[in-house]
Chains A and B, each alone.
Chain A
Amino acid sequence: DADVTQTPRNRITKTGKRIMLECSQTKGHDRMYWYRQDPGLGLRLIYYSFDVKDINKGEISDGYSVSRQAQAKFSLSLESAIPNQTALYFCATSDRTSGRSWNEQFFGPGTRLTVL
């Protein structure tokens, strides 16, 4: 979906390096998410944010940090990359919803990260 963009699309780095993955959206959504996808494991949530001042850890947040610089921007950082963080990373957005009903999510094209 062109409304959700991720940079870079591919990145190869070395163990110990700090890496930042960026996500921008033009959908006007409040909620943004970072997932990683590994073969055979589906998608796992790393962090999510309901607005600029609200950041929450997901299922696998260790080794990652995030920054919500603006409503439209949500960055994921690997402070000291390690080989088992090699994966496909996706950013997603969703619209505000009332109560506990969860709306559909819109995904970016993904960033393929390789840590050597």
Chain B
Amino acid sequence: SQQGEEDPQALSIQEGENATMNCSYKTSINNLQWYRQNSGRGLVHLILIRSNEREKHSGRLRVTLDTSKKSSSLLITASRAADTASYFCATALETGANNLFFGTGTRLTVIP
């Protein structure tokens, strides 16, 4: 399966600390996307990084992509209690299936 795997499965940090989540995948991708899900709600797109990009920033988010290692990381700086959510990576394949493959997610808890 191409399904990405996030690491760690769960992460608990203090408000103000940085949170880093990792995603690994198996086959060549066109792009990789990160989504956020508040408990029981729909997913919200955070950021998209293309296969020819190595790093991308959006506000307090920093995403890196290492295609040689087939991995990506999402860094949330200066975390806030409102960042508490599950975070999913999703991969769009270079060839083949015409859909996104979602990972199993990292559950982030930010303690006030």
Contact = CB atoms under 8 A, between A and B. Distances in A.
Interface of A: 1, 4, 33, 35, 40-45, 48, 50, 56, 58-59, 88, 90, 92, 100-110, 112
Q: Is the interface of B mostly helix, strand, loop or mixed?
A: strand
B54 to A, nearest CB: 18
Interface string B87-109: 01000111100111011110000
B79 interface: no
B104 A41 contact: yes
A44 B88 CA distance: 12
Given A4-B42, A92-B43, 6 more contacts: A1-B44, A33-B99, A42-B88, A102-B100, A104-B45, A104-B48
B42 A100 contact: no
7 contacts: A42-B3, A56-B98, A100-B30, A100-B93, A102-B100, A106-B45, A110-B42
Contacts of B50: 101
A82 B43 CA distance: 26
A102 B30 contact: yes
B92 A101 contact: yes
A100 B95 contact: yes
A90 B40 CA distance: 11
A69 to B, nearest CB: 21
